[in-house]
Structure 1
Amino acid sequence: MTKTELKRVCVKPFDKDRFEVVLDYVFVLPSFKGLIPKGFKTDGASIPRIFWSFYPPYRSEYFSACVIHDYLCEKANSRKDYKLADQVLKEAMSVLGCSKFKCFIFYHACNTFHFLKYIFKSITRS
């Protein structure tokens, strides 16, 4: 069985704390594949500043996974789409060699945020 590898995304600074993808980024994971077009803008990992000393938002270890996640979240139209984006983040981080603990933290932080976002959205619609 071949080990899955994930190329790193190529970005340039766009604005304060934001980056722009400079080449189309094709990614292939065991359960998902996709393309992020040149010009997509991202902030890396959307981590509250208080946690940046532990998990910097631009750390190359997981930056490509975060760009994929940002793209999938931008395209998401339903709770199911956000759940898929969170699962892809976890898988991409694992492929990039992040620890199981770090994958766990990122996945559950994102999944909890998206869950609460949908609860809040449904309450405000009522």
Structure 2
Amino acid sequence: MAEIRRPVLKPYDKDKFELVEDYAYGDIMVPKGYKTDGANVPRIFWSIFPPNSPEYLSAIVIHDYLCDRKEYFLADRMLKRMMKALGVAEWKIWCFYTACRLYHKIKYKE
């Protein structure tokens, strides 16, 4: 399993961030300048799952990038793998992964 380094991000708009340098995990390289809004978590759950938590933001950057490329299954699989490598609690990993898989299966028939 590839080592996870944290992405270098700067705010560019309210609750949005831009990569200051290329960010890579395994074979996946997200280019400098890529923009993310963090995890798309309904506001009611922000106290439990803040959208830009450093706990899992590294995984979110990769997930968002792959989703933008319409690689939803890979995105969800990488999210789960990276969150596990980051030491995120199993119940949080299950919540994120399950929510993403359901959303992608329903919206994109994947």
Q: TM-score range by the shorter chain?
A: over 0.9
TM-score by length of 1: 0.82
Q: Which residue of 1 aligns with 2:65?
A: 71
1:108 aligns with 2:98: yes
Contact in 2 for aligned 1:94/1:103 (Cα 8 Å): yes
2:108 corresponds in structure 1 to 118
What is the count of residue pairs matched by the alignment? 109
1:2-38 deviation digits (Å, cap 9, x = unpaired):
x74200011000111110000001212xxxx210000
Task: Provide the residue aligned with 1:27 in structure 2.
Answer: 25
Counterpart of 1:122?
A: none
Report SS of the residue matched to 2:33: coil
Long gaps (5+) in structure 2: none
Two-structure CA RMSD over aligned residues (Å): 1.2
Contact 1:20 1:40 in 2 (8 A): yes
Residues 44-63 of structure 1 correspond to what in structure 2 (within 5 A)? 44-63=38-57
* C-alpha separation in 2, matches of 1:49 and 1:25: 27
> SS at the partner of 2:12?
strand
After TM superposition, give the deviation of residue 118 of structure 1 in Å: 2.0
Instruction: Determine if contact 1:5/1:96 at 8 Å carries over to the other structure.
Output: no
Query: Is this contact kept in 1: 2:2–2:25, CA < 8 A?
Result: no
- Is there any run of 5+ residues in structure 1 with no aligned partner, and where? 120-126
**Which has more radius of gyration?**
1
**Distance (whole Å) between structure 1 residues aligned to residue 91 and residue 47 of structure 2:** 17
TM-score (norm 2): 0.94
